Amino acid sequence: MLEERVKKLFKSEILKKYMKKGVYLILAIIFDNKIAYSVVNYRNNFLTALMLSFSFIGSSLMVFIITTLLFISDKRKRSYIPVLWLTLLIAVGLGFFIKLLVARPRPEFLPLEIKNSYSFPSGHALAVFAPLALIDKEFPKLKWFWFCIALIVLFSRLYLGVHYLSDVIAGALIGYLTGLFVLIVTKNM
């Protein structure tokens, strides 16, 4: 009976999907330094200004403000603001504790921002991906726009030299899964 459950679990599409993402994360960890050095080699004044702007947009506070304004803008969606805030609070809090547990130092190659915290996972990635499930549910037309902005925020963290690729991938996964979890849990409330 246990064997059947295990087989069923491994045949599950959800498990396959997240196992694939886990493989990507492992590959990212293996190639972290090579990828980081490659990104840093393409710096120029225009891209630096652009990446600093997207990094600012992806900060926890700005994501909180932007998404709150988005939900305030539609009277029918205002009831989801507590769910949004809970999602962001849990994601950022979880990220803070994981940073303390893992205690991974930030990259040491020419950072364009000075950070005094640990690197893993990326707080910006957590913050920008956490509301994605709720945005997908309530503003489906904006889902891809938000997703593209989120990807640029992730790239900005690499470009600025404050994170490794595995940091931003892990942050995005944790953020998105947190948002999905909160959405599922609060669905029946």
Predicted local confidence at residue 9, as pLDDT: 47
CB atoms under 10 Å from CB of 114, counted, come to: 7
Overall pTM > 0.85: no
Torsion (CA) 38, 39, 41, 44 in degrees, nearest 10: 170
pLDDT of res. 46: 86
pLDDT confidence of residue 64: 93
Fill in the amino acid letter for 126: L
Query: What pLDDT does 53 receive?
Result: 86
Predicted confidence pLDDT, tens digits, the chain (189 residues): 445 554 554 555 555 565 666 665 566 566 666 666 666 777 778 888 888 888 888 888 999 999 999 989 888 888 888 888 999 999 999 988 888 887 777 777 666 666 677 778 888 999 999 999 889 888 889 989 999 999 999 988 888 888 888 888 889 988 988 888 888 888 755
Task: State residue 6's pLDDT score.
Answer: 47
For position 104, what pLDDT does the model report?
77
How far is it, in rounded angstroms, from Cα 107 to Cα 86? 31
